[in-house]
Structures are given as structure tokens and as C-alpha cells.
Amino acid sequence: MKISSISLFTAAVLLATLAVNARAQQAVTFPSGDGTAQAILYLPQGAGTHPALVLVHEWWGLNDWIKQEAAGYAAKGYVVLAVDLYRGKVATDPETAHELMRGLPQDQGVRDLTAAIAYLEKRKDVKRDRIGAEGWCMGGGYALQLAIADSALRAVAINYGALATDKADLGKIHAAVLGNFGGKDQGIPPEAVHAFEASMKSLGKPVDAKIYPDSGHAFENPNNKTGYRADDAADALGRVDRFFAERLQH
């Protein structure tokens, strides 16, 4: 049977596309204490070194929305490591999400994230002095804990995540901090945000927290059918983009 040159060209394009996609998105593992952490690595186009981001998922786990966010940052030129704190488990209902979150020891979660920083620092395509982190909901709290635990972090974005209150812990933070919060969030009320921001400023730490008065918890997640607010989410995303561009010099 004769194979046309067009068919061969189409097959070559398909193989090249698959090769690019395989490079751009890879499941990776790395040591974390006595265990093994896992994540999905997203790579930007272009040679050379790039700033890097560690992304921390909500209580749902490393689902499609977080993967979409990671791919978006890679398209903007970052090496992105979306860490899977649940190590393969993803929740689709609040009951399961609550069980998974409660079953994750905080020290293990922080250890996996500091191990993620170490993994990125060893990569030849990463600018070691330009690593940031971002988290949402549960992941926002863990992103802040990562900033406390690892002085290599240069910038951290917290989206409606739990806030540390101990000044001794806050004093360990070397990263600039940006936060986006909902004014109607019952778990993280505005007074908690104001207290956190005041404590950081009293310590001379760079911090920028914004409260969206008409939004509740998880207002940035489009899967939140009752609480998603597109305009506030777009504004928050713009703030984070500008923050990382400035702090990571990208």
C-alpha cells in the first residue's frame, strides 16, 4: 500500500506534538523525608533558565482546575511544580475532601513542599533565587507554612488560606506575601486578615492583602457553583500575576 507524503507529514506533526506535550507536562517524584512526594511538572517553552512556582491545591486534591492553573503559569514562562499532597487521591465531594485534609499530617505536607523547593533548586532550567509559591484554600495555608519553613522562597501568594498568628513564626518569613480573601468568608474573616497584615508590617515584612467584600470562600474557583465570582477572581489573578512578575523579576 502506498503511503502519501501528506500522511507521513501528518504523522510527523502528531509525533512532534506528543513529544512537546510529554516534555511540557510530566509526573515526577522526589524524596521527602523517609517517603516519596509526587507532583506534576509543567515546563515553559524556550531554552535557558526560568523563575519557578510551587502550586498547592485545595482540600479537593490535585484536580483538573489546579492542573489548568499550573499549565497557565507555564505558558507565562514559569517552571511549575504542582505538588500532590494527597499522593494520588482526589475528592469530588466535601465529605471525602474533609477526610483527606484531616488525614494529612501537617508536618508531612510542609515536608513535601520544602522537598519540592529542593527539587526545583537542583534543576538546570530554574533560577534558584526566583522561586515562588501559590496556594488556594487548604493550599493557601500550606503555602504560608512553606514560607515560614523555607527561607529560599522569594514570593508567596495566599488565596483564602489559613493565616499564621505567632509572630515568632512570621518572623521566619523571607518571602514577600500577597493575599486575596473574601469579605464573607466565615473561616477567615476580615478581622483575621487585618490582624495578619498588621503583624507582618510590624515585623517589617512586605505584605499586600486584599479583601473582596462581596465574595466568600473559594471565590476564585469556577467549580464553586454558588460562590464563584468571575470579576473578583479575574482581579485576584491579575494581582498575583503582577506580584510574581515583580518579585520574581519575570
Classify each residue of 195-209 as buried b or exposed e, where b means 16 or more C-beta atoms within 10 Å of its C-beta. Answer: ebbebbeeeebebeb
Which residue bears the cell 519540592? 116
Which three cell numbers mark 186? 466565615
The per-residue DSSP string of the chain comes to -PPPHHHHHHHHHHHHHHHHHHHHEEEEEEEETTEEEEEEEE--SSSS-EEEEEEE--TT-S-HHHHHHHHHHHHTT-EEEEE-TTSS---SSHHHHHHHHHTS-HHHHHHHHHHHHHHHHT-TTEEEEEEEEEEETHHHHHHHHHHHH-TT--EEEEES------HHHHTT--SEEEEEEETT-SSS-HHHHHHHHHHHHHTT--EEEEEETT--TTTT-TT-TTT--HHHHHHHHHHHHHHHHHHTT-
- Residue 236: other Cβ atoms inside 10 A: 24
User: Domain 25-247's class?
Assistant: alpha beta
Average pLDDT score over residue span 69-91:
98
Which residue bears the cell 477572581? 233
- Is residue 148 within 8 A of residue 141, CB to CB? The reply is no
Question: Based on the number of CB atoms within 10 Å of its own CB, is 170 exposed (0-12), middle (13-18) or buried (19 or more)?
Answer: buried
CA–CA distance, 142 with 131 (Å, rounded to integer): 16
In the chain, pLDDT over 70 holds for what percent of residues?
A: 91
pLDDT band at 28 (very low <50, low <70, confident <90, very high): very high
Domain ranges of the chain: 25-247
User: What pTM was estimated for this model as a whole?
Assistant: 0.90
pLDDT tens, position by position, 183-239: 999 999 999 999 999 999 999 999 999 999 999 999 999 999 999 999 999 999 999
User: First and final CA of the chain: distance in angstroms?
Assistant: 53
pLDDT band at 3 (very low <50, low <70, confident <90, very high): very low
pLDDT above 80 for 9: no
pLDDT on residue 23: 54
